[in-house]
């Protein structure tokens, strides 16, 4: 099966192969809700990642196949959250764009909508891990819009990270033995998310790049091309220390002093347990911001 390139950062093209183009996340007005999901990293729910796919027009992809793909993709992230507990995730089909709804199911289930129709396993994996990233990051409509771009960037990073791991896992242990050949397509899809234009321009630091692009990001959080540059800039940190994915679980908890990016990251640093602060601190340094001082507790 030949490699399929991402045609555009803005198109939802997916017509020929299981590993077709990347998809942008757009929140429609009718998808907004007034209820706020619990933003907590305390154990609640189950240690097992539970994914339930609702019956819909999924084309020639079966519910069982979709569930196995999503559990495989999400599992590459979830294994780095050993202390976290999670409510079940219910998957519905969207005719518009992938999204994680703010409202929850009757038993606290997370509600995620995905767009693929057919056996487009890479699209399913890419969209799900992005939306799962929002769940892990304690997404909330209460988070100031000015800093949502950073969460979007982390979610883009979650997709790239998870799919890179999947490409390795599926070589030897895919959900179905006859899916081994898809490992090559998954890697090709990842390559399309890490093209030269998806990285910082030569000679640019992340801090310098952000200063030039902050106004655009704070106005429109889901500028996928820009999100991807941030994602690829931070990816090495989490590949070097996968255990620090757990730090993502403390984003959007607590309350920043203001909607400035400095205060947003400082709040994240303070909320994160000591064992995971090093990575958060490194991110703050990469943006050339100040790591907050945390008073030592006297014993």
pLDDT digits (tens, 9 = 90+) for 44-86: 578 999 999 999 999 999 999 999 999 999 999 999 999 999 9
Q: CA 249, CA 135: separation in Å to the nearest integer?
A: 9
In a domain, 93, yes or no: yes
Give the domain extent around 99: 35-141
- Output the CA–CA distances (angstroms, integers) from residue 121 to 88, 124, 255, in the order listed: 21, 5, 38
Question: In the prediction, which pLDDT does 45 show?
Answer: 77
Relative orientation angle of helices 148-172 and 63-78, to the nearest 10 degrees: 110
* pLDDT of 106 over the 80 cut: yes
Provide the pLDDT for residue 87.
96
pTM of the entire structure? 0.85
Give the residue carrying structure tokens 């007005």: 29
Selection from 161, 113, 123, 118 nearest residue 6 by Cα = 123
What are phi and psi for residue 295, nearest 5 degrees? -60, 140
Flag the least confident range among 34-38, 45-49, 93-97, 148-152: 34-38
Check pLDDT > 90 for residue 2. no
Tokens, residue 245: 């994915």
Asked if residue 261 belongs to a domain, the reply is no
Residue 173 forms part of a structural domain: no
Any domain includes 18: no
Residue 143: band (very low, low, confident or very high) from pLDDT cuts 50, 70, 90: confident
Assigned domain for 299 exists: no
pLDDT in the model for residue 142: 78
The total domain count for the chain is 1
CB 202 within 8 A of CB 165: no
In angstroms and rounded to an integer, the radius of gyration of the C-alpha atoms of the chain is 19
Is residue 269, in this structure, part of any structural domain at all?
Answer: no
| Average pLDDT value for residue range 120-142 | 95
Give the pLDDT confidence score for residue 30 in this predicted structure. Answer: 33
216 falls within a domain: no
Tokens of 20: 């077709």
In a domain, 103, yes or no: yes
């Amino acid at each position: 099966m030949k490699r399929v390139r991402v045609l555009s950062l803005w198109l939802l093209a997916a017509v020929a192969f299981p590993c077709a183009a990347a998809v942008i996340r757009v929140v429609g007005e009718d998808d907004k809700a007034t209820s706020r999901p619990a933003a907590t990293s305390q154990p609640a729910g189950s240690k097992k990642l539970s994914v339930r796919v609702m019956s819909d027009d999924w084309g020639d992809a079966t519910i069982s196949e979709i569930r196995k793909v999503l559990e495989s993709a999400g599992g590459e992230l979830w294994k780095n959250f050993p202390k976290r507990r999670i409510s079940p995730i219910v998957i519905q089909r969207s005719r518009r764009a992938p999204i994680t709804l703010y409202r929850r199911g009757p038993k606290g289930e997370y509600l995620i909508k995905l767009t693929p129709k057919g056996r487009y396993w890479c699209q399913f994996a890419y969209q799900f891990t992005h939306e799962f990233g929002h769940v892990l990051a304690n997404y909330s409509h209460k988070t100031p819009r000015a800093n949502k771009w950073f969460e979007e960037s982390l979610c883009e990073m979650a997709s790239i990270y998870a799919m890179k791991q999947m490409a390795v896992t599926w070589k030897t242990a895919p959900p179905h033995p006859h899916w081994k050949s898809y490992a090559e397509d998954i890697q090709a899809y990842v390559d399309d998310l890490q093209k030269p234009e998806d990285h910082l321009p030569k000679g640019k630091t992340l801090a310098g790049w952000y200063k030039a692009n902050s106004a655009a990001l704070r106005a429109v959080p889901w500028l996928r091309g820009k999100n991807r540059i941030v994602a690829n800039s931070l990816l090495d940190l989490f590949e070097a220390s996968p255990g620090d994915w757990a730090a993502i679980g403390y984003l959007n908890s607590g309350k920043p002093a203001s909607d400035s990016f400095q205060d947003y990251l400082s709040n994240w640093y303070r909320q994160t347990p000591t064992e995971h602060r090093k990575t958060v601190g490194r991110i703050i340094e990469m943006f050339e911001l100040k790591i907050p001082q945390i008073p030592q507790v006297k014993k």
